[in-house]
Amino acid sequence: MSLCHPAPYTLGARLSDQGCRFSLYAPDRDAVTLLLWQRSHQPTRIHMQEYKLGYWTAYVPHVKAGDTYSYEVLINGQAWCIADPYAQAVVGPVQYQPPYTPNQSYSLARCQVVDHQFDWQEVSRPAHTMSETVIFETHVKGLTQLHPNVEERARGRYLGLIAPDMLRFYQDNQINCIQLLPIATCLPEPHLLSQQKTNYWGYNPYLWMAPDPRYAHHDAVTELKTAIRELHRHDIEVILDVVFNHTAEGGDGGPILHFKALDHAMYLHDKHRLVNYTGCGNTLDMRHPAAITAVLDSLRLWVTHYQVDGFRFDLAATLGREGEQFNPHAAFFTALAQDPVLSQVKLIAEPWDIGPNGYQLGQFPSNWSECNDKIRDTTRSLWRGEKHILQDFATRLMGSRDRFSAAHWPDHLSVNYLTYHDGFTLQDVVSYAQRHNHANGENNRDGHGDNRSANYGIEGPTQDPAIIAVRERQKRNLIASVLFAFGVPHLLTADLLAHSQQGNNNAYCQDNPISWLNWDNLESSMPWANWLSTMIKRRQAVMPAFIDAFSGRKRHQNRIRWRHPDGNAIQPNDWPNLCAVVCHIEIGQHHRHAGAQLLYCFNVSDQPLSFSLPDDKSWQTVCVTEEADTATRTVTSSFTLAAKSLSILTNHA
């Protein structure tokens, strides 16, 4: 609880011992009415006072946690009920039937007063370093909706994340960080509502500070905190995917939910029309003081009240926009860097949007990590057989230092991924040559057109053992290339189960078994899952030390040598025609892991090749992709590497 009479300067609904202070920023309005919804359908109306220009407030005695409220404003003489942009809980279900009307607004815009008291039981955040972090992207509902051993009331909900079987699953698969697709309350776009579909992924934010009630059995606030506490208890971090580039109010014809009625200047304008740098109809103007304040207040709430460990920012180039230009020194980035709370958590950018100068990979401040689509595209292209790209792949393997200077490691690391929510799952990357998005209702025109995928003989599922064997080996090649690259690996939890979306590479509106994980696959995918979990464990034993050694001022004390399979050094003009390479890495003498070595051997040709090993030492296999066998072997002098496979070895230092 806060003090007796909270000051009006902090926005939102803030409880005291005797009541609640409601404060709202609404510079576009001449009057604002607070609506308190009791058991009756008719609300109590309280006229708010403007205590300074654009800031409205009312203190109401006897209000308690769980009470429901909204605001009412006049727009062109028509009364609208709007939500509090600072609402920290909402009354579900959150839905309407297009077109959105003033009458419907009185049913939709129902916010709840929240008391954030919660027993964290002295459980603290895990605080993994970036070099130790392996991110598993997870959808709250899709993870457990079909899990037979999760009790029914928890399936598809926050509490399903911490069901006993799920906690064992994380432990068995070496999961130490979960990145949740957006859990802030969202609304489906009008065209989806008209088709009786929903925005399953959650990338259409309605209220930034309120956990979505569709993932709760009863109380979203308490159930989400409980889930995060128990994940932390099991040494698992939680990163939230957040969307601050636009809101669910969409373009000029979109619904009036809050900001459009309260402060239209929070959006970018072009001759009084909303600018669409996001593909979602509107773009938040982070130069606007109220906008940047709202975003920072939202982030602080998730860290302080929910103990989250970091954020992945959707279309993050928007956050640094100054009109048509991107500025890595924009006010938002500076504000985050100096904030005593937010500067301590993980910050990950999706470093682009669809506006002018929107692609900004590697350009974010040095305290940010960034999702790296270049390693995705290069790795997929390499293993499906494209020529003349081994040199580019070598750059990606070594941390994409053309984009992410090792001088700023480990803070500014590439987030290396093959699959994300928007695209094929790993199983579909090796099973489909084309997208199959007809279920989305857009005549298969949506989603990525350039997937760098292959089907290896048959489009979709097959029982052909030869094709299955090739696909499994390619999955191992792809994943190993990311796991053992310098940077932060990002995987889909769905890929642990070899989940297929039936070739749909844009399943944003598929709230059904296309997106829900099929746990019946667990037994059949066990060899793959066992191989992958073993590789993650070995990655954790090897890569953090090498990332640390190659970071910052220490980076020049180590050696990287590129060789042909016969051991001879690769010359610059050799690269375009290579189909096999050896990368020999050694940590220098001034590091605590001095003498530790890694040997990456890649054979992307169609023939087995003999590889000579350097230094006349014994080497131990870390990763071999030819088969799913995880047994380690000791190798001396030379070995034969199968076609289309890789091997990673380490010395015994």
- Give the residue numbers marked as catalytic: 314, 350
- What string of DSSP letters covers 597-646? EEEEEEE-SSS-EEEEPSTT-EEEEEEE-SSS-----EEESEEEE-TTEE
Six-digit token pair at 149? Answer: 């051993």
CB within 8 Å of 476: residues ≥ 6 apart: 531, 625, 628, 645
Six-digit token pair at 433? Answer: 């040559």
Residue-wise burial string across 549-583, b where 16 or more C-beta atoms lie within 10 A, e elsewhere:
bbbeebeeebeeebbbbeeeebeeeebeebbbbbb
User: What does R_g of the chain's alpha carbons equal in angstroms?
Assistant: 26
Six-digit token pair at 471? Answer: 């696909």
> SS3 for 184?
strand
For residues 166 and 160, is the Cβ–Cβ distance under 8 A? Answer: yes
Q: Report how many helices (DSSP H) and strands (DSSP E) the chain contains, helices first.
A: 14, 31
For residues 351 and 360, is the Cβ–Cβ distance under 8 A? Answer: yes
User: What is the crossing angle of helices 526-549 and 465-483, to 10°?
Assistant: 20
What are the E-state strand segments in 351-482?
369-372, 414-417
For residues 409 and 552, is the Cβ–Cβ distance under 8 A? Answer: yes
What are the E-state strand segments in 294-349?
310-313, 321-322, 325-326, 346-349
For residue 510, give the amino acid letter. Answer: Q
User: What is the crossing angle of helices 373-383 and 390-397, to 10°?
Assistant: 140
Q: In terms of Cα–Cα distance, which of 355, 480, 360, 375 is closest to 420?
A: 375
Runs of H (alpha helix) within 347-447: 373-383, 390-397, 426-429
Q: How far apart are CA 277 and CA 275, in angstroms?
A: 6
DSSP 570: P
For residues 581 and 570, is the Cβ–Cβ distance under 8 A? Answer: yes
What are the E-state strand segments in 293-404?
310-313, 321-322, 325-326, 346-349, 369-372
CB within 8 Å of 40: residues ≥ 6 apart: none
